Amino acid sequence: MNTTIQRLNPLEVPLHGSRLIEASAGTGKTFTLAMLYLRLVLGHGGETAFARPLMPPEILVVTFTNAATEELRDRIRRRLVEAALVFRDQSSPGSSDPLLLDLRDQLADGDLAHSARRLELAAEWMDEAAISTIHAWCYRMLREHAFDSANAFEQTLENDDAERLQHAAEDYWRTFLLGLPAERLEPVLEQWSQPSDLAKAVRGLLSLAEYLTPIADPPDEIVGRCLETRRHTIATLKTDWRTQDHIAALERLFEQAVKDKAFNQRQLNKGHRDGVLKSLRVWLDTTDQIEPCVFSGTGKSWQRMSSLAIAEIWNDPAKAPVDDPACRALADLYETLTTLPDPTEDLLTHAVHWLKSHVEREKRQSAIMTQNDLLIRLDQALQGEGRERLAAAIRRQFPVALVDEFQDTDPLQYRIFSSIYEIQANHAATGFFMIGDPKQAIYAFRGADIHTYLIARAATQGRHYTLDVNYRSSIGLITAVNALFEHGERTATHGAFLFREPNGQGNPVPFHPARPRDQAERTLTIDGRPCPPRAPPRPPPAPSPSCCGSDRRDAPCCLWVRTVNVRSNPAIWRSWSTIATKPTPSAPSCAGSTWPASTSPSAATSSTPRSHAIWRYCCAPSPTPSTIG
């Protein structure tokens, strides 16, 4: 896959077709979005311009929170006003943005007064600008295009349908479950003891119902078929164990092994062995017992008597009777019992489809929608019979769309946009800009999906841009973070973010280093003073280091490395360990060795109350010149 990415110049990027702009935190994402908006209003760009100048009601800007919507509206309005002043030469001397001055110079051959007036009109029109959350925009589209979307003209919007779902779950319970025989009701009650439990289990799957193959059989038949299969499987297993007499074989095997002193009896003593054999006999003699009780415990005795772990206790693991028929039978028994058919998945699938149909029918009859319904119904309309007419109408209304925080887009939202703007086709008659940071695609709890971002990235191959100047951080911090992630990108098989193909076919989420802005501070300052890195807490006692013969735990070559959240990206942890344990270039010996600010652990790590931190004692083998990576 081609991962070429272009550095974005907001005055030169084409304003037509579909384009992906990757912007890390602090790189001026909102500033850039406002600049693109301004160019669309002016019709700026020559060959890169949109087909015609646009006004605020024609430019769709979508973001994901109401607060972000208001901030964007205010920032764009102020940008339009500021640009108008620059075009009229009414801005304060020395205070004008160089980009606005460049834009004015590029339009100097035209009527600057006319351009300024157009900017002022756009600023006055911002109250009617199409800047909204995706839910608010979908609601507007369903109302304004009610005929094409086959929705009622007047609909009541509710926050959620929890109460309706609960009522539907109670109806389902009465219809399908209350009349089940006790034997068939038991597996149901193991999963959901009451209707509210069922409603809770179904809620998160309602939006995914189309991906679940409908099951026509009612719960009575689903559970009955499953129980019959389980009974047959267990009966067959017990017959085999009686015929082969595996229990007696296990007993003889270990009695002989005790005589031969072939294994570590402290890990598997006589009491352990007798407990396993007794549990197997009880299971064999009890008709309705599904599995030996020992399988549900926490002990490892039965595993050490089976092919799964017998080599762990054998004095010579190569001679362990891993392939002994009785040991193999015990391992196979556990595997078979853990893979017995379970009706839960089919029961849940049946409930999802029934409850969804029940709730949707009631909402349509009452002309009611929830927030999630807004997206679902617009998507359904864009996939239905009138999809081409509806998509064309929306494109005429909003020929250009800019989606902010695109990394938070879920598959349903992306399909809506792609149905309208045909992202992969890259049509010059429309403009679709996705602005986001895949490294921040973390909101899975609300449906965001990094893989949706990757699909969008593949659909815009060759049309990727990056904002690589960090306007928020100091030079020292930017240098340290770049070094950390670049090391992971170079040395980890799958790259810093674990998406690189090991065969070299491509990396859809590469790391792009950031650059500090001009005249950026070298380090953090407070009241104009450089702020030194906070020293980490003194670690607990540790063995004396051998490299310098000193028992001083603060010897410069003996470094304590603090790792934050060790369950996170292993490539990053390996990178940080490598960087943090290297001495500095200026250290000819232990004495006098110091940390550079950009690579000090205390400068580059932080902790939170929820962080899981460990301390590792690291001793540099010898003071050598430091090279990160």
**pLDDT tens, position by position, 161-171:** 899 999 999 99
The yes-or-no verdict on residue 282 having pLDDT over 60 is: yes
Instruction: Give CA–CA dist 19/449, Å, rounded.
Output: 19
The yes-or-no verdict on residue 549 having pLDDT over 70 is: no
Q: Please count the other Cβ atoms lying within 10 Å of the Cβ belonging to residue 16.
A: 20
Instruction: Give CA–CA dist 296/337, Å, rounded.
Output: 11
Q: Which of 288-297, 304-313, 516-525 has the lowest mean pLDDT?
A: 516-525
pLDDT in tens, 11-57: 999 999 999 999 988 899 999 999 999 999 999 999 999 999 999 99
Per-residue confidence (pLDDT) for residue 243, from 0 to 100: 96
Give SS3 for 122: helix
pLDDT category, 530, cuts 50, 70, 90?
A: confident
pLDDT category, 114, cuts 50, 70, 90?
A: very high
**CA dihedral over 437, 442, 444, 445, signed as positive or negative:** negative
> The tokens of 110 are what?
């035209």
List the one residue out of 18, 15, 19, 8 whose CA is nearest residue 49.
Answer: 15
The yes-or-no verdict on residue 536 having pLDDT over 80 is: no
How far is Cα of residue 199 from the mean position of the Cα atoms in its chain?
Answer: 26
Q: 170-180 burial string, b = 16+ CB within 10 Å, else e?
A: eebbeebbeeb
Mean pLDDT value across residues 435-463: 82
Q: Which of 6-15, 524-533, 561-570 has the lowest mean pLDDT?
A: 561-570
Per-residue confidence (pLDDT) for residue 585, from 0 to 100: 37
Q: DSSP string covering 23-44, please?
A: E-TTS-HHHHHHHHHHHHHHT-
Per-residue confidence (pLDDT) for residue 541, from 0 to 100: 56
pLDDT category, 610, cuts 50, 70, 90?
A: very low
Identify each DSSP E strand in 333-379 by its residue range.
368-370
Per-residue confidence (pLDDT) for residue 617, from 0 to 100: 27
> The tokens of 319 are what?
């001679």
Q: Which of 362-376, 479-493, 523-537 has the lowest mean pLDDT?
A: 523-537
pLDDT in tens, 321-350: 999 999 999 999 999 999 999 999 999 999
Mean pLDDT value across residues 420-428: 96
What are the angstrom distances between the C-alpha of 249 and each of 254, 290, 329?
9, 22, 11
Lookup result for tokens 């001055």:
101
pLDDT in tens, 182-216: 999 999 999 999 999 999 999 989 878 888 999 99
Per-residue confidence (pLDDT) for residue 587, from 0 to 100: 34
Per-residue confidence (pLDDT) for residue 306, from 0 to 100: 96
Mean pLDDT over each residue of the chain, to the nearest integer: 83
**CA dihedral over 262, 267, 269, 271, signed as positive or negative:** negative
The yes-or-no verdict on residue 238 having pLDDT over 70 is: yes
The yes-or-no verdict on residue 405 having pLDDT over 60 is: yes
Per-residue confidence (pLDDT) for residue 534, from 0 to 100: 64
List the one residue out of 333, 325, 347, 258 whose CA is nearest residue 302.
Answer: 333
pLDDT in tens, 564-597: 333 344 443 344 344 344 443 333 333 333 333 3
Length of the chain: 629
> The tokens of 277 are what?
């054999």
Q: Please count the other Cβ atoms lying within 10 Å of the Cβ belonging to residue 59.
A: 23
Per-residue confidence (pLDDT) for residue 43, from 0 to 100: 95
Per-residue confidence (pLDDT) for residue 96, from 0 to 100: 80
Q: Which residues pair with 401 in a beta bridge?
A: 60, 432
The yes-or-no verdict on residue 622 having pLDDT over 50 is: no
Instruction: Give CA–CA dist 267/141, Å, rounded.
Output: 69
Mean pLDDT value across residues 457-471: 93
